[in-house]
Structure 1
Amino acid sequence: MENSKWLEPVLRYLRAGTRFQLSERCPSIRPLEKNTVLHIKLLQLCQDAVNIDDSLLYEISVVEDHVHPIGLDLDEHCSIDMDIQVEQKQNEILIDNRSEELARANIDYEQNLITREKRRIANLPNEEERVKPRAALDRRTMIHQMKSLRLISSITNIPPLTVGLNPIEHHMSFSIHRTKSGNDGYLVKITTIHEERLTYDKKLHDAQFYILEKLFGGRSCINVLTLSIDSIGILRIPSNLNLKFQGLDCYEYEPDNILKALRPFLTPSVLPLKTLQICSVPEMPHPIVESAEELTLITKDRLITLTNLKVTVLSYDMKSVEEPAELIKKWLRDGKQIGTVFTLSSFKEIKSKILLDDVKRRFKEKIVRVEESNGDLTSVTLSMNDSAELVIQRDLVQNTWKVILKVQSSREEEI
């Protein structure tokens, strides 16, 4: 190891995937590699995958009778196993997002696949070519019907019909892929580095915990720009990982549960977060949410309570002009820190026009200036006090209409 210390400055700036490969092929440098800070831009943790920088994907799945891989644990009859009882251990963080809605969505998805397969088989040129795929589809349809009955059973608490249903063969698939981010934001698999079939003798969450421990356990420090939690099933994370992240993305789920689960990682060295993406503002004030420098939300609820400098709402559906008017009224009355920017995205053009027209009418005594384009208002600037003003402007950015509320120094326009 002494002779390989010159590698440390090289390792520090290598991509995670390259470091993992070097460590695997050269056991002599493993201690040094583990003790060198690992830098990752994006670390996305799902119940069945680990995505590193949108370039390397570790993926596990359950495969039923050679049909299609499923990223959730199944019972012996191929239904999503909602009865698994997982107790949190001392050395782990447990996130369990299973729901009946998830099971229903999976059944609907499978129904769509079956319908598409029926059409494909019907379009085959001759009967001989249809025999084998039709037999496979009949089998797949039978399993789908069984899953549907078992879901109804779990909802109604009526025992399912299992007469004549034989357990289905399962196996587990493990693969490593080189990936890239596609134009639609989804990952595209470029090449498969490793692939193997495993017996289904441990649950997905056990296998995922093992992968996380293997990749990141025992490291001196893992610096992550954004940690993304994207799990619709059971996710177990080793709690002893020396994980430091600047941003957290968990906007698919209720923030309280995720933030509570991740508490071991939310240390003073991590807080305040530079970026936080969550579904909605918690009902009760949350210091981690309130202290985040940039907050991104899916929904617009409780915007009026936020004190963050930068807030973006990804889906702002204005039901009436009263909602944003209350926010503007509060800022004018109570004041707001210079540099505050609230961006309300997904506006329809007509609604953005209605909002600015309403601001001009409602707060006409506060108007400093207005700007127009082709006869339509594009911005209205209101006086807040002697040193600050509030600019409300609308803009089309990447085919999405946005309304931006920005607090700036009243001297900025003069400069």
Structure 2
Amino acid sequence: MPPPLSYPALKLVLEYLDVKKRYHITSRSSALQKIDKKIPLRVGTLIIWKDSSVSLDDLEYSAEYTKRKINREELLKIHVVNEKLKKYLEERPNIHVDHVGIYSVKFYEEVPLKLNLIANKLHTFCCSDFRNFLPMIDSRSFPLKKLKLTEEESIDVDHPVVHTAQDVILQFSQKNRLIRGIEKLQRKKLTIQNIMNGNVDAVRIIKDWVKNGREIGTEYLLCFFSNAWIQRMLRDLKNEFHEFQNNLKGVNVRFLKRAPRFSIPMNPISKIIIYGTEIQSKDDTVYQLVLKVVSTDE
């Protein structure tokens, strides 16, 4: 019979064990439970779905079991199991998560479990405001490696979490929902996807850049699935900056056909170039408007 694992070895095995296996193994041993509480819980993906469920990889907590059409005895058994899992997760001082996804939850109070998460990436989808869920993200998570906000309501993104995240993607699920504060972001890179009418005020962004300056290399990519939406934004830019239209000779890009391009001076050493391009993939076509700060020598 092989000798039992030493404490350091057991600690290492438990820490990197699949979360579902770890929970089921340690729940059967009081000795392992004492060790387990001292070891970080590591999860690849944590998904919060509405006010009904929280899944940590393959381990799922459901708050909807009371809606099942089952007898009282069976319901009680499920309740006991769920409460045990809830206690196990909520008593963790923190849970290390690579990716946190929060979907269709309006307020923090609706989240079925109150957890403390140390996260690398955060994605909120059709939530009222990403700020509502920051109480569950430990301060050690910041700056985030990636932040993706898919919005159906108008929000203000002028926030330190957005300013400091390494990679930020803003995305829209409805038209005429303006994301405010984009022009105030001091980011070098930003991607805004699925833009529809009324989502982004590009004129305001450019005016702020001209007034307050931006670092050379700053680049915002505004992405559209409809040619009509990008053409509407280009018309707005043309109406405001028509005197700065420029063919952008020397820029090695396949420009969007018959679309205006711009070169707008910022200061003696830098300028803003604006142009549209079309990106083809197997599944669809994306129309991209590029806002970029470059040296006046380019």
Work out whether the TM-score is over 0.5. yes
- Cα contact 1:227–1:247 (8 A) shared by 2: yes
Q: How far 1:244 moved relative to its partner?
A: 1.1
Q: Is 1:252 aligned with 2:126?
A: yes
Per the alignment, residue 163 of structure 1 pairs with none
User: Within 5 Å, which residues of 2 pair with 1:187-202?
Assistant: 197-199=74-76
1:307 CA drift (Å): 0.4
Q: Which residue of 1 aligns with 2:140?
A: 269
Runs of 4+ aligned structure 1 residues displaced above 6 Å come to 206-209
Secondary structure of the 1:250 match is strand
SS in 1 for 2:290: strand
AA partner of residue 399 (structure 1):
D
Deviation string, structure 1 residues 268-294 (Cα, Å, up to 9, x no partner): 423333333342564595444444442
| Unaligned stretches of 5+ residues in structure 2 | none
Match of 1:407 in 2: 292
Q: State the distance in 1 between where 2:96 and 2:198 align.
A: 42
Percent of aligned pairs with the same amino acid = 20
- Aligned equivalents of 1:235, 1:380: Cα separation in 2: 46
Matches within 5 A, 1:183-332: 197-199=74-76, 211-214=85-88, 216-219=89-92, 221-230=94-103, 231=105, 234-238=110-114, 241-255=115-129, 259-260=131-132, 262-263=134-135, 265-278=136-149, 279=151, 282=155, 285-293=158-166, 294-298=168-172, 299-309=177-187, 310-318=189-197, 323-332=201-210
> C-alpha displacement at 1:401, in angstroms?
1.9
- Count of residue pairs the alignment pairs up: 276
Distance 1:410 1:20 in 2: 56
CA contact under 8 A between 2:216 and 2:293: conserved in structure 1? Answer: yes
Q: How does 1:318-397 map to 2 (within 5 A)?
A: 318=197, 323-353=201-231, 355-356=233-234, 362=242, 364=244, 368-369=248-249, 373=254, 376=257, 380=261, 382=263, 384-385=266-267, 386-387=269-270, 389-396=272-279
Letter in 1 for 2:45: L
Deviations 1:325-366 (A, max 9, x none): 343343234322344343333331244356557757725356
The unaligned stretches of length 5 or more in structure 1 are 70-169, 174-195
Q: Give the aligned residue type for 1:317.
A: M
- Asked whether the equivalents of residues 171 and 197 of structure 1 are also in contact (C-alpha less than 8 Å), the reply is yes
Secondary structure of 1:35's match?
Answer: coil
CA contact (8 A) 2:157 2:179 kept: no
Q: Secondary structure, in 3 states, of the residue corresponding to 2:64?
A: strand
Matched residue of 2:194: which SS? coil
| Greater RCO structure (CA 8 Å; 6+ sep) | 1
Amino acid at match of 2:170: T
The alpha-carbon distance between structure 1 residues 375 and 319, as it changes in their structure 2 partners (threshold 3 A), is closer
The normalised TM-score by structure 1 is 0.52
How far residue 16 of structure 1 moved from its aligned partner, in angstroms, is: 1.9
Cα 1:198–1:391 shift into 2, 3 Å = same
Q: What is the match of residue 52 of structure 1? A: 56
CA distance in 1, matches of 2:77, 2:10: 39
1:35 maps to which residue? 38
| Distance in 2 of aligned mates of 1:63 and 1:374 | 57
Instruction: Give 1:245 shift.
Output: 1.6
Structure 1 residues 244 and 296: alpha-carbon distance in aligned structure 2, compared to 1, 3 A threshold: same
- Please state how far the C-alpha of 1:407 moved relative to its aligned partner: 2.8
